[in-house]
Structure 1
Amino acid sequence: MKRLAILPLLILTFSIHGNAQSKKKQDTEAIKKMCGCYEVTFNFAETFNYSKDSLYKPSKTKTDKGLEWAQLVENDKNKISIQHLLQVGSPSKPHIVKHWRQDWLFENTNFYMFNGDNTWNYVSKPKAEVKGQWTQKVYQVDDSPRYEGSSTWVHVDGKSYWENMTDAPLPRREYTKRSDYNITVRGNRHEITKNGWVHDQDNAKVIREKGKKDELLAKEKGYNTYVKVDDSRCKAAADWWVKNHEKWALVRSKWSDVYGRNKNLALESKVENKLLYKYLFSEDYTKADAINKVIESFVIK
């Protein structure tokens, strides 16, 4: 009788495990669908402002287009890494720009949460809090940190999407023009579509000062569409990655060492009046020793 009583429990256990594995497979398939060659349209518009300044000027609406290659860099059991490369200029002689990178980690518990002024607070979350979730970690062009957040992929009514809200630095289109706010609270939605994917954003522009309550300055809508095209159109970008992937593996390795210290992180914006990506994009930085030294010079001890 005892053996018969155990059977339903075993069946239930296997069923739950099987469903979890099936769900995780759906998640990984959705994430990897963001790889390939895409025609991208970037759209941003400031929608509402809450400034007390009567002379406040909102950011101009921005629309831009480009061809982007999303290269699968890692495809492990609990980690998927995708490197984005912009292919610009004449199709006959294109120029390749190393763009952002996104890493997806399953049930990740270690976080670097942006807190303004080029600082990230290290946060360790309990396993129960991230069960079944994927962390998206987004990196700058030099593989330094940008923002990250953990949420569950949803597959329902023929849709696959992931939504999260997290603090982030000012986007590149803003930080050279705006100094009246220092935090972008990013509402990110990544949705897989029949012809590619969409990065849908509802962002808040926030002023954060120590000892004060965050002040909302304005809100912004972002809507970036990635329309899949034949991979052959991004051949130049794919070829560039073949030639340069070893160098950037060294860069990622050094950053992994920095993140592995599991403590709050603060970075210099410039060293000897030069941005980090300016160093790393140079042909002078191809060996581990030089790469490690320059990245370490930006880490504030």
Structure 2
Amino acid sequence: MKRLTLLPLLILTFSVIGNAQNKKEQDQNAIKDMCGCYEIKFKYAETFSPDIAYEKAYDYRASALEWAELVTDKDDKITIQHLLVVNDTMVIKHWRQDWEFQNQNIFNYEAKNTWSVNELPEEKVRGQWVQKVYQVDDSPRYSGSATWVHVDEKHSWENKTDAPLPRREYSKRSDYNIMSRGNTVKLTDYGWLHEQDNDKIIRETGKKDELLVQEKGYNIYKKVADEKCKLAKDWWRENDKVWKKIRKEWDKVFAENKAIKLKEKVDGKRLYQHLFALNNKAGSKDIRTIINKFLN
């Protein structure tokens, strides 16, 4: 029986380390490839319901111009802020996505505007990236952990997680209360694709979840010249300081609580309406006071 000498063992060890580093770099590049200026098409269609009497909703179609700003670019964390450009005259702060490498801390949507803050086992997140998606006011929306896959020049990430109703339906529908989102992020030759296989769920305390209907969705991000999103880029430079403060206050809320339950309105306004009224001069104390009013 042959013995492995020290040199082959060292070569094998450095090869494994090198492959792991190269894989992580591929992951980072794939995530950052979602930045830039995009023309987006949103397409959704309900497909199957276990209830043959259920009448499927009309297909949904919409389009938008959006700038995806790289806010944080660290070894284990990448933050991308999305900004909508409306009629080339107005910018609206849109959703945000944080990508965190081997992060054990996630939040799960339960129901009734409530999220539990949980810790995953270390072995479960090894080599994975957690995607945390936040609403326009940087409050939680959904999160999940999965492995980026790079095969045959194809790059994708796939996860299933519960979320509140999407913005296109939460003010129009009351026949379900949980969107179980099947999220697949794919890089493409035109930009990237957010493909969805969603279950619209009825959740009641003490009862088994009931499937109302399934849905197929495509958010198609077609990359265009960055100049088309200049208005959004300029807006972010003017407003990024206050949103950095807001993110820090939310980080404290997550660190301090095992569950987060938010009120729909305070003083007749939603949380984003209070926070959107702030500017860079707003202090951390003022921001936290607003957030605390919405915390149950």
- Confirm whether residue 264 of structure 1 aligns to residue 256 of structure 2: no
* Pairwise CA distance, 1:171: 0.2
Question: 1:230-259: CA deviations, max 9, x gaps?
Answer: 000000000000000001001101000011
Tell me what 1:62 maps to: 60
Q: Runs in 1 of length 4+ with deviation above 4 angstroms?
A: none
* Pairwise CA distance, 1:9: 2.6
Amino acid at match of 1:82: I
- Confirm whether residue 17 of structure 1 aligns to residue 20 of structure 2: no
Tell me what 1:297 maps to: 293
1:75-154 correspondence to structure 2 within 5 Å: 75-89=73-87, 91=88, 94-154=89-149
Unaligned runs of 5+ in 2: none
Contact preservation (8 Å) 2:242, 2:278: no
CA distance in 2, matches of 1:33, 1:276: 31
Amino acid at match of 1:49: S
- Confirm whether residue 166 of structure 1 aligns to residue 154 of structure 2: no
CA distance in 1, matches of 2:116, 2:36: 33
Amino acid at match of 2:291: I
Tell me what 1:8 maps to: 8
1:203-222 correspondence to structure 2 within 5 Å: 203-222=198-217
Count of residue pairs brought into register by the alignment: 293
CA distance in 2, matches of 1:283, 1:80: 25
Tell me what 1:175 maps to: 170
CA distance in 2, matches of 1:51, 1:266: 32
Q: CA RMSD in A?
A: 1.5
Identity %: 55
Question: 1:218-239: CA deviations, max 9, x gaps?
Answer: 0011101111100000000000
Unaligned runs of 5+ in 1: none
CA distance in 2, matches of 1:256, 1:17: 32
Tell me what 2:184 maps to: 189
Query: What TM-score do you get using the length of structure 2 for normalisation?
Result: 0.95
- SS of residue paired to 2:162: strand
Amino acid at match of 1:211: G
CA distance in 1, matches of 2:151, 2:160: 21
Question: 1:121-170: CA deviations, max 9, x gaps?
Answer: 12211111101000000000000000000000000111001010000110
* Pairwise CA distance, 1:267: 1.4
* Pairwise CA distance, 1:262: 4.9
- SS of residue paired to 2:288: helix
Query: What TM-score do you get using the length of structure 1 for normalisation?
Result: 0.94
CA distance in 1, matches of 2:106, 2:66: 28
CA distance in 1, matches of 2:132, 2:85: 23
CA distance in 2, matches of 1:143, 1:13: 42
